[in-house]
């Protein structure tokens, strides 16, 4: 699975469960929230003040 800025968090967690550890290391503690499931990585990075390119590198 190629992960990019448009990848939905819900899809990512379902297809790569180990990605939760990476997301949690960025203090994304609301991964189980219904709204987070339909949020893109780009949106989440913006909301949490995370460098999107760095996050994508770690997830890929």
Read off the pLDDT of residues 35-46 as tens digits, 9 standing for 90 and up. Answer: 778 899 999 999
pTM of the model: 0.87
Looking at residues 8-16, what average pLDDT do you find? 93
d(CA 49, CA 16): 23
Encode pLDDT of 15-33 as tens digits: 999 999 999 999 887 777 7
Question: What is the pLDDT at residue 45?
Answer: 94
Question: What is the pLDDT at residue 27?
Answer: 87
* Nearby residues of 26 by Cβ (< 8 Å), 6 or more positions away: 48, 50, 55
> Which long-range contacts link 47-52 to residues 24+ away (Cβ below 8 Å)?
50/26, 52/5
Percentage of the chain surpassing pLDDT 90?
Answer: 75
């Amino acid at each position: 699975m190629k992960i990019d800025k448009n990848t939905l968090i819900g899809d990512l967690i379902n297809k790569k469960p180990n990605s939760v550890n990476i997301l949690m290391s960025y203090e994304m503690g609301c991964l189980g929230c219904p709204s987070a499931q339909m949020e893109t990585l780009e949106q989440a990075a913006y909301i949490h003040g995370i460098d999107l390119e760095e996050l994508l590198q770690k997830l890929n």
